[in-house]
Each structure stands twice: as C-alpha cells, then as structure tokens.
Amino acid sequence: MDNSLINYTLHLADTTLILSQRNSEWCGHGPILEQDIAITNISLDLLGQSRNFYQYAAQLINFSKHSEAKVSPSGGDLEGASEDSLAYLRTEREFKNLLLVELQNGDWGQTVLRQFFFSQFQYLLFEQLQQSKDEQLAAIAAKAIKETTYHVRWSSEWVIRLGDGTDESHQRMLHAIDELWRYTGELFEAAEYETAMGIDLAAIKQKWTEKVIAVFDEATLPVPENSFMQLGGKKGVHTEQLGYILTELQYMQRTYPNSNW
C-alpha cells in the first residue's frame, strides 16, 4: 500500500488532536460562561474528527502489514495499530501536525485568531476532500465540514469583535497576528504525501487569503506583508511545545499501559 495515504491521514488526525488538546485548556477559564462552553465544544468537535482520521489510519496500517510493504510510515512498529496507540504511543518526531496548532494559547485574542486561521483553511480543505477519490476521506470531510462551518463563523466573529473593539482589544489582536502569522505559510507548503494525494493547496491558499483579507478589513486589522514562514511540522520537526503537550496527553497510557475505561 502507498504510504502517502497513511501519512496524510495521520497528518489530519494529529493536527486536529493537538488543536483539540490546546483548546481544551480553556475549559473553565473562558472569559464568559457562554464562550467557555463554545471553545470546549469546538475542542470536542476536533477530537471527534481526529478519532475518525485515526481509526481510518489504523485500518490502513493494519491492512498494509499483510501486504509486501511492511514499512511503518513513521519508522516505528505500528502493527496492530489502533486510534489509541496512534495518539498515545508515538513520539514528537512521529507526529505530523501543523506547527500552528501546537503553539501556546496566549490570550483569548490569540486563541480565536489561531482558530480562525485554521478553521478557514480546514473548511476549504474539506470542500476539496469531499471530491477525493478515497471514499473514506471524502465521507469524513463531508461530515466534519458541517462543524467546521460553525467554527469559521464563531472565530471570525470574535476576530472582528476584538479587532474593531477597544484600543486594548485591537492591540491584543495586532500582537496575536505578530505571534501567529509566520506559522500560516505551512498550511500551503505541500509535504510529499499531500502532493501524492493530489491536494491542491495553491487553490486553497488563494481562497483562504481572500477570506482572511475580508475579515481583517472588517476588523480594521492589517494583513502582514510576506515574511519568513516557520515550517517543519508536517515532517515531524516541531517546537518545544509539542513535547509538553504530549507529556500531558499521553501520561496515563504510558504510566498504565493498555489501560481503558
């Protein structure tokens, strides 16, 4: 079996899992109760998406062990893979998530801007994946895009509210842009497995940029000029933050192997 499909599915699973974990840190700490619940529900949506992708990746991996190509996509032993083993028993270098989603939450403005950048990208990606020749990926995308539509609306409304709000909220959004913009380039830098899957990131980038400009204009926020972009997450090269995330996320499974509820 071509490992491109496995690697791409793991990339999608890892990215949604890590962002879910990050957003869940707001549970009980949101600025008001309604938004505390909203960000927690978005975390659960992303977790559900990651489960669907991990389950499919495990199915592909377990099928591939019966074929001639028995090489793991990450270099480790993934025979008998499950959604749990893929989430809890892989190391930082084996994770293929975007760098953007592993960054610290910062303040509320930084969190909602990160969600907007990602959700707008994810919505356009799922639109494209619905036409995928791989029926399972297409089905997952068709189901998840309904949730992602809400994520885009929710996050964009917050970007506009804060950007065009008080002087302090505007300044905080400017700081959030400074912190996050250099990580958006990786969204559109194709890894080998994305190229092999025929993902048209150039088309997505054009639409994404148009959407971001429209929201930023309404939020009275500037769109940064081209700058150096941080890359590496899709290939397993991450910031130090991912190690801390996985330490917390994987603690119970690594401390009590094979435990379940």
pLDDT, tens digit (0-9, with 9 covering 90-100), for 87-142: 999 999 999 999 999 999 999 999 999 999 999 999 999 999 999 999 999 999 99
The share of the chain scoring above pLDDT 90, in percent, equals 82
Task: Delineate the domains of the chain, giving CATH numbers in brackets.
Answer: 3-255 (1.20.1260.10)
Cα angle vertex 34, ends 28, 37, to 5°?
A: 50
Segment 209-236, tens digit of pLDDT: 999 999 999 999 999 987 789 999 999 9
Kindly indicate the confidence band of residue 75, based on its pLDDT and cuts at 50, 70 and 90: very low
Least confident of 77-81, 164-168, 208-212, 233-237: 77-81
Kindly indicate the confidence band of residue 26, based on its pLDDT and cuts at 50, 70 and 90: confident
| pLDDT tops 80 at residue 69 | no
Tell me if 219 sits within 8 A of 159, measured CB to CB.
Answer: yes
| pLDDT tops 90 at residue 159 | yes
Length, in residues, of the chain: 261
pLDDT, position 80 = 81
Region 160-189 average pLDDT: 97
Region 194-202 average pLDDT: 95
Region 189-213 average pLDDT: 96
In whole angstroms, give the CA distance from residue 73 to residue 76.
Answer: 8
Kindly indicate the confidence band of residue 79, based on its pLDDT and cuts at 50, 70 and 90: low
Q: What letter represents residue 3's amino acid?
A: N
Helix (H/G/I), strand (E/B), else coil: 71:
coil
First to last CA, the chain: 33
Region 161-188 average pLDDT: 97
The share of the chain scoring above pLDDT 70, in percent, equals 93
